[in-house]
Amino acid sequence: MNQLLTISASPHVHTGRTVASCMWNVVIALLPALAASLYFFGLGAAVVILTSVAGCVTVEYAVTRWMFHRPATILNGSAVLTGLLLAFNLPSNIPVWIVLIGCVVAIGIGKMAFGGLGCNVWNPALVGRVFLLISFPVQMTSWPLPIVNRLNYTDAVTGATTLGAIKMSEMSSEAVAGASVDAGMTAFSVDTLQNFIGGVGGSLGEVSALALLLGFAYLLVTRTITWHIPVSMVGAVALFTLLIGGDIMVELLSGGLLLGAIFMATDYVTSPMTKRGMVLFGAMIGVITVVIRHWGAYPEGVSFAILLMNSFVPLIDRYVKPRKFGERRRVR
Amino acid sequence: MRTFRMGGVHPPENKLTAGCRILDVDLPREVTIAMSQHIGAPAICVVGKGDHVDRGAMVGKASGFVSANVFTPISGTVTGVGKIKNAYGMPVDSVTITATEEDHEKDAERPLWTSALRSSDDIAAMSAKDIVDIIGEAGIVGLGGASFPTRVKLSPPPGKHADILIVNGAECEPYLTNDHALMLEHPDEILAGVRLMMRGAGVDKAIIGIESNKMDAVRLLRGRLEGDKSVSVMELQMKYPQGGEKQLIQAATGREVPSGALPVDVGAIVQNVASAYAVYEAVVFGKPLVDRVVTVTGPSLSGRGNYRVPIGMSMAALIGIAGGIPGDSGKIILGGPMMGRTIVNVDAPTMKGVSGILILPREQSARGDVYPCIRCAGCVLACPMGLEPYRLSLLSAHSHWDSAEGEGIANCIECGCCSYSCPSSRPLLDYIRLGKNTVMAIRKSRSVQK
Amino acid sequence: MSILYAIIVLGGIGLLGAGILFLVSKRFYVKEDPRIALIEELLPGANCGSCGRSGCHDFACACASATSLDSLVCPGAGDEAMKKIAGIVGLDSVVTRPMVASLKCGGSCQVRPAISEYDGASSCAILQQLGSGTTGCPFGCLGCGDCAEVCNWNAIHIDPVSGLPVVDADKCTGCGVCVSKCPRHVLELRPKGPKGRRVWVACSNTERGAIARKECGAACIGCMKCEKACAFGAVSVKDNLSYIDAEKCKLCRKCILACPTGAILDSGFPVSAKEMAEIALSKQKNNN
């Protein structure tokens, strides 16, 4: 033998699954939604997505290279993923400079300030998105109409989102007669099919439930994520909506619920480590989402709900443990 | 198809030697018998330098209840008694026996252990204690890898009673095929061994658990069992670590061994198929445990196969018979790739617990680059014991032994599912094993203090 | 008028809070010997445990309530600080001999050939579980630096050339944390010696000479030459391994010159034994 033998502790084989493969798998799962956003918003979508991805990758490279003095980590795909998710949470007519601010906040503050991938407490894309939502409320809530605006960017014709319209009518009706939530719901008629395929306005990535579900199927098949968080989150929204007497299909298909449930809440770093914890986490997000949607000032509450529950993840991990083999239950 | 409930992974099987017939290895001219080839107290050497020993003679005597006799597979003269480097490079007490030309020829001409020592009537008349005594005398230990003395397992502590024998034919480790080959070539002997062990332990039911990638063995054994209600063959879904004692019990019976308890606490005894075969040979032919089937395998090894190897033969010689160490070797592993240990000294002798020698090429030997944990929960989902490997590993790395103990680090079975599934290639099990050993030592000193 | 309400209400809340704080601090006041705080200030605060107590505060409490300081020694603080502590508690201080951690292994990369590469977490404790480590020697230093990691005083670093830990005798307090951490037990606390001069056997290998020699060029082979060379009976060979009793050693260093493998080391001398031998040799040549 011309070279020395290697010694190491078992196991001596590995799945081959790497951080990069996990991240790129999620990026692949986002491709249907990407295609849908390009189809519905055309030029605007292309500009926002490209800016966001390029911005996030640049910020990550700059921070790792010149502040951390570590090998650059951009190839593992996490910055691309954050960029895509941030773009998917923005309207298609948002100016480039706002997108870039979002990138700096998402990667710089949301991720790198905590020490990089694996150390952040909150989902970076959502940190960026919520920062923009609070800082630039006008630009962040003018939603271009799909399809008609394919060739427009910042000069797009805007309209209301489903949830926005509901909130508006709810508020006005409440102001007039103090009517219940149901009144608000019925005041705005919604085409479920349109909502499912993506004909209603909204953020880039959230318009097509169909595309998002395709991505979900891919993630499940490749075992990139488990079903626990998305299913418990959507289930909680459905149950809670049923309880307060809302329109379940509208609640499920509108806004960022599916995007959040499938791609944002399931972010590895900011979600719990155990199955039980995941179910609790997802269910709580669902409940908070409905609470914000119905009783909050904002028409949409998925981002806030996820960020809020992200803060509870260390607590959940501390107290929600998996059942150990041979614990409690004794057969015989 | 049944399996255990929690966690588990499915590594590529790579059963390169499946279907290879068991080849008998010629008796070597020199063997080295280690005194400690089992869990428990080492055997005490009963020969001196210069003594002549016959094939099958005892060279080391069990020194306690949890201990086992060791025997020589060849006739010859004792040429060395003392410390010899084992496969891992550590000095261990051993006896070296060298055969002269005369001894060698005599062994080759005079076949031993081919005609029955005891008639079937004699065997039928034996009591449970007789059978267990013969097993103990023959130095039989669990041949799956842990090498726990079989006699001890078959004699439950007072007050505890077993009602089922589970025979482990799962062979869930990738690459290894020694049990598979044995089941295909010696089904009747294995079944006879199983029945003997049932009598020895006083149980009236046995289940042979075999993973579904060995359907030929399942069919063969089932064919021999027609009309027999007490022994059954159970086909198990392929999942690692199915061969783990607690996992196998759950898969076969649905019983869950409480944490910190022994299988016998849920009435189960687990034995390997190779042990069953050895029991058969010991009871019928009076043969002590002097050889076993070893899978010698590796992607670049030319003569890989299943070999019946005299225990004590040098591993270098064995690998030589299997085509020699390939030039691109990176790791030589005793056992399978999930739980096996890497060795540095190929001149060391084979031992009772060596079920396979796996030679991995260099490009398959390196671990991946280590990245920070991304909290993907892969290790938690993969852990068959319901532990949180990421946390245990962190606690161990920072020497927080008390917290690690509280998190159940002592329950770890060191199966390696966590490290296997970690996308950041973190050395989770390295630290957990360290923590487990430390916690065990702390517990021991605590009980001594009391 | 309304501003007055605000002042009254907020001022009232403030007063109420202050009152509660006052009462609580009175009610739950824990009386502590004021000397404990003074003693603690003199201690290094590393909580290393080498005094046998659970931490520096515990040690300070023990000192304050002690009737004799015989069994209370903080190696980290040193004799100066212990004298001051003795002054505080009004007892006689015990002068200790300063100790230093010494490496009982000389198997540098140059003299101890590697037989394997280690791929795994960088920890001696983990490597120890795998067998003899990356060299053939089952007793020698593993070189992953567990000792350097646990040292509270930054006194140990791994020399990149030799691959062995180097103890900085000036920084080492002799607390012994590294000694208990080393899975191979190749670190030993030895008296620092007059002017820091000391001699020790840098090997832990108890195998027969021929085997040890094969594994490491600097191994003690148990040849007894050192034992014979020593006029004070300080050197003894047991299990093929030489050991120097620091109590009896007079630092003559004849054993170093006698050792055929260079397994005995010295430290703190103005001229090292090796140089001394060379000088002697050249003098001999000149005389001839």
DSSP assignment string, A51-73: HHHHHHHHHHHHIIIIII-S---
Beta bridge partners, B85, equal B91
Question: Is there a domain that residue A211 lies in?
Answer: yes
The distance of B89 to chain C (nearest Cα, Å) reads 5
* Spatial separation of the C-alpha atoms in residues C107 and C135, rounded to whole Å: 9
The domain boundary, picked from A140, A156, A173, lies at: A140
ipTM score here?
0.90
Would the CB atoms of C121 and B88 count as touching at under 8 Å?
no
| Residue B441: per-residue pLDDT | 94
Identify the three-state secondary structure at position B349.
Answer: strand
Beta bridge partners, B96, equal B32, B80
| Residue C72: per-residue pLDDT | 83
The distance of A33 to chain B (nearest Cα, Å) reads 23
- Chain C contact for A221 (CB, 8 A cutoff): no
- Assign residue C186 a region (left: φ > 0; alpha: ψ between -120 and 50; beta: otherwise): alpha
Q: Which domain holds residue A31?
A: 19-140
Q: Which amino acid is at A331?
A: V
- Chain B contact for A10 (CB, 8 A cutoff): yes
Would the CB atoms of B434 and C129 count as touching at under 8 Å?
yes
Question: Is there a domain that residue A175 lies in?
Answer: no
What average pLDDT score do residues A101-121 get? 93
Count of domains observed in chain A: 2
Contacts of C286 (CB under 8 A, 6+ apart): none
Please say whether the beta carbons of C11 and C5 come within 8 A.
no
User: Where are the alpha helices (H) located in B95-172, listed in sequence order?
Assistant: 101-109, 120-125, 128-137, 150-154
**Confidence check: pLDDT of A183 > 60:** no
Q: Considering CB atoms only, which of A5, A321, A326 is closest to B332?
A: A5
* Cβ atoms < 10 Å from Cβ of B24: 10
Would the CB atoms of A4 and C117 count as touching at under 8 Å?
yes
Question: Is there a domain that residue A329 lies in?
Answer: no
| Residue C216: per-residue pLDDT | 93
Question: Is there a domain that residue B67 lies in?
Answer: no
| Residue range C186-197, pLDDT digits in tens | 999 999 888 889
* Spatial separation of the C-alpha atoms in residues B205 and B169, rounded to whole Å: 16
Question: Is there a domain that residue A330 lies in?
Answer: no
B392 and B274 assigned to the same domain: no
* Spatial separation of the C-alpha atoms in residues B194 and B244, rounded to whole Å: 19
* Spatial separation of the C-alpha atoms in residues B67 and B39, rounded to whole Å: 7
| Residue C285: per-residue pLDDT | 77
Question: Whole-number mean pLDDT of chain B?
Answer: 93
In the block, tokens 């196991």 appear at A11
In degrees, to the nearest 5, what angle opens at C-alpha B61 toward C-alphas B441 and B355? 65
Question: Is there a domain that residue B342 lies in?
Answer: no
Question: Selecting from 1.20.1250.20, 3.30.365.10, 1.10.15.40, 1.10.150.530, what CATH number does the domain C35-89 have?
Answer: 1.10.15.40
In the block, tokens 């031993």 appear at B112
Say what the pTM is. Answer: 0.89
- The token pair at C85 is 């502590």
Q: Which residues of chain C have a Cβ shorter than 8 Å from any chain A Cβ?
A: 114-120, 126, 129-131, 134
**Confidence check: pLDDT of B114 > 90:** no
The distance of A157 to chain B (nearest Cα, Å) reads 41
Q: What residues of C are in contact with residue B433 (Cβ under 8 Å)?
A: 126, 129
* Spatial separation of the C-alpha atoms in residues C14 and C36, rounded to whole Å: 34
Q: Return residues 7-66 of A near C (CB < 8 Å).
A: 7-9
- H/E stretch holding B279 reads helix B273-285
List the single best residue of B161, B265, B300, B376 to mutate versus A (max A Cβ within 10 A): B376
Q: What residues of B are in contact with residue C115 (Cβ under 8 Å)?
A: 89, 344
User: Mean pLDDT lowest for which of A278-292, B127-141, C86-100?
Assistant: C86-100
A110: burial class by Cβ within 10 Å (0-12, 13-18, 19+)? buried
Would the CB atoms of B344 and C129 count as touching at under 8 Å?
no
The distance of C280 to chain B (nearest Cα, Å) reads 41
Q: Looking at mean pLDDT, say which of B437-441, C33-37, C172-176 comes out highest.
A: B437-441
Would the CB atoms of A4 and C118 count as touching at under 8 Å?
no
The domain boundary, picked from B241, B267, B285, lies at: B285
* Spatial separation of the C-alpha atoms in residues C16 and C5, rounded to whole Å: 16
| Residue C270: per-residue pLDDT | 87
A135 and A195 assigned to the same domain: no
Q: Return residues 178-207 of C near B (CB < 8 Å).
A: 207
Question: Is there a domain that residue B355 lies in?
Answer: no
- The token pair at A230 is 């998305």
B383 and B240 assigned to the same domain: no
B126: burial class by Cβ within 10 Å (0-12, 13-18, 19+)? middle
* Spatial separation of the C-alpha atoms in residues C140 and C154, rounded to whole Å: 22
Would the CB atoms of B374 and A17 count as touching at under 8 Å?
no
Count of domains observed in chain B: 2
* Spatial separation of the C-alpha atoms in residues C46 and C44, rounded to whole Å: 6
DSSP category for residue B9: B
| Residue A252: per-residue pLDDT | 86
- H/E stretch holding B269 reads strand B268-272
The domain boundary, picked from A125, A140, A155, lies at: A140
* Spatial separation of the C-alpha atoms in residues B345 and B357, rounded to whole Å: 13
B275: burial class by Cβ within 10 Å (0-12, 13-18, 19+)? buried
Please say whether the beta carbons of B4 and B40 come within 8 A.
no
Identify the three-state secondary structure at position C199.
Answer: strand
The distance of C116 to chain B (nearest Cα, Å) reads 7
- The token pair at B161 is 């009673």
* Cβ atoms < 10 Å from Cβ of A208: 27
Would the CB atoms of A19 and B371 count as touching at under 8 Å?
yes
What average pLDDT score do residues A125-132 get? 95
Please say whether the beta carbons of B2 and B234 come within 8 A.
yes
Q: Which domain holds residue B187?
A: 120-285
- H/E stretch holding B417 reads helix B417-421
Would the CB atoms of C120 and B367 count as touching at under 8 Å?
yes
The domain boundary, picked from A82, A107, A140, lies at: A140
Contacts of B425 (CB under 8 A, 6+ apart): A14, A18, B367, B368, B369, B370, B371
Q: What residues of C are in contact with residue A7 (Cβ under 8 Å)?
A: 116-119, 130-131, 134
* Cβ atoms < 10 Å from Cβ of B197: 27
Q: What residues of A are in contact with residue B338 (Cβ under 8 Å)?
A: 10-13
Q: Return residues 276-305 of A near B (CB < 8 Å).
A: 278
| Residue A174: per-residue pLDDT | 47
pLDDT band at A190 (very low <50, low <70, confident <90, very high): low
| Residue A172: per-residue pLDDT | 58
Instruction: Give the residue among A217, A247, A211 at the shortest CA–CA distance from A231.
Output: A217
Question: Is there a domain that residue B400 lies in?
Answer: yes
Is CATH 3.30.70.20 the right assignment for the domain spanning C99-282? yes
- The token pair at C13 is 């809340």
Percent of chain B with pLDDT over 90: 86
| Residue range B3-36, pLDDT digits in tens | 998 999 999 999 999 989 999 999 999 999 999 9
pLDDT band at A59 (very low <50, low <70, confident <90, very high): very high
Would the CB atoms of C207 and B83 count as touching at under 8 Å?
yes
A217 and A101 assigned to the same domain: no
Closest residue of C to A11, CA-based? C120
| Residue range B285-341, pLDDT digits in tens | 999 999 999 999 999 999 999 999 999 999 999 999 999 999 899 999 999 999 999
Q: What residues of B are in contact with residue A8 (Cβ under 8 Å)?
A: 331, 342, 367
* Spatial separation of the C-alpha atoms in residues C258 and A305, rounded to whole Å: 77
| Residue range B45-64, pLDDT digits in tens | 999 999 999 999 999 999 98
Question: Is there a domain that residue A146 lies in?
Answer: no
Contacts of A144 (CB under 8 A, 6+ apart): A41, A44, A91, A92, A93, A152, A156, A157, A158, A159, A201
Closest residue of A to C117, CA-based? A6
| Residue A180: per-residue pLDDT | 40
Question: Is there a domain that residue A326 lies in?
Answer: no
Would the CB atoms of C118 and A5 count as touching at under 8 Å?
no
A282: burial class by Cβ within 10 Å (0-12, 13-18, 19+)? buried
Would the CB atoms of C117 and A6 count as touching at under 8 Å?
yes
| Residue A176: per-residue pLDDT | 44
The distance of B446 to chain C (nearest Cα, Å) reads 18
The domain boundary, picked from B285, B317, B349, lies at: B285
The distance of B370 to chain C (nearest Cα, Å) reads 9
Identify the three-state secondary structure at position A329.
Answer: coil
* Spatial separation of the C-alpha atoms in residues A37 and C200, rounded to whole Å: 75
Rg (CA), chain A: 21
**Confidence check: pLDDT of A181 > 50:** no
Q: Considering CB atoms only, which of B11, B375, B384 is closest to A118?
A: B375
* Spatial separation of the C-alpha atoms in residues A273 and A61, rounded to whole Å: 28
Instruction: Give the residue among B247, B271, B232, B256 at the shortest CA–CA distance from B172.
Output: B247
User: Where are the alpha helices (H) located in chain A, listed in sequence order?
Assistant: 19-62, 78-88, 96-103, 124-135, 137-140, 162-177, 181-187, 192-197, 209-221, 228-244, 248-253, 257-259, 275-295, 302-319
In the block, tokens 């020895």 appear at B200
Q: Considering CB atoms only, which of C114, C115, C119 is closest to A8?
A: C119
Q: What residues of C are in contact with residue A14 (Cβ under 8 Å)?
A: none
Q: Considering CB atoms only, which of B332, B387, B429 is closest to A9?
A: B429
| Residue C243: per-residue pLDDT | 95
Q: Return residues 107-166 of C near B (CB < 8 Å).
A: 115-116, 119-121, 123, 125-126, 129-133, 136, 138
Angle between the N-to-C axes of helices B178-185 and B187-201, in degrees from 0 to 180, rounded to the nearest 10 = 100
User: Mean pLDDT lowest for which of A182-196, A293-307, C7-21, C117-131?
Assistant: A182-196
Q: Which chains have 3 or more CB–CB distances shorter than 8 Å to chain A?
A: B, C
Question: Is there a domain that residue A159 lies in?
Answer: no
The distance of C150 to chain B (nearest Cα, Å) reads 10
Beta bridge partners, B32, equal B96
The domain boundary, picked from B285, B320, B342, lies at: B285
Residue B237's CATH number: 3.40.50.11540
Question: Is there a domain that residue A328 lies in?
Answer: no
A238 and A298 assigned to the same domain: yes
**Confidence check: pLDDT of A13 > 90:** yes
* Spatial separation of the C-alpha atoms in residues C216 and C69, rounded to whole Å: 45
- The token pair at B69 is 């006799």
Closest residue of A to C132, CA-based? A7
* Cβ atoms < 10 Å from Cβ of B280: 22
Identify the three-state secondary structure at position B255.
Answer: coil
- Parse chain C into domains and list their residue ranges: 35-89, 99-282
Q: Considering CB atoms only, which of C119, C130, C138 is closest to B366?
A: C119
User: Mean pLDDT lowest for which of A113-117, A251-255, A326-330, C174-178?
Assistant: A326-330
Q: What residues of C are in contact with residue A6 (Cβ under 8 Å)?
A: 116-119
List the single best residue of B393, B424, B430 to mutate versus C (max C Cβ within 10 A): B430
Would the CB atoms of A8 and B362 count as touching at under 8 Å?
no
Closest residue of C to A4, CA-based? C116
User: Where are the alpha helices (H) located in A141-274, listed in sequence order?
Assistant: 162-177, 181-187, 192-197, 209-221, 228-244, 248-253, 257-259
A120 and A194 assigned to the same domain: no
Q: Which chains have 3 or more CB–CB distances shorter than 8 Å to chain C?
A: A, B
* Cβ atoms < 10 Å from Cβ of C197: 15
Instruction: Give the residue among A227, A299, A266, A298 at the shortest CA–CA distance from A85.
Output: A266
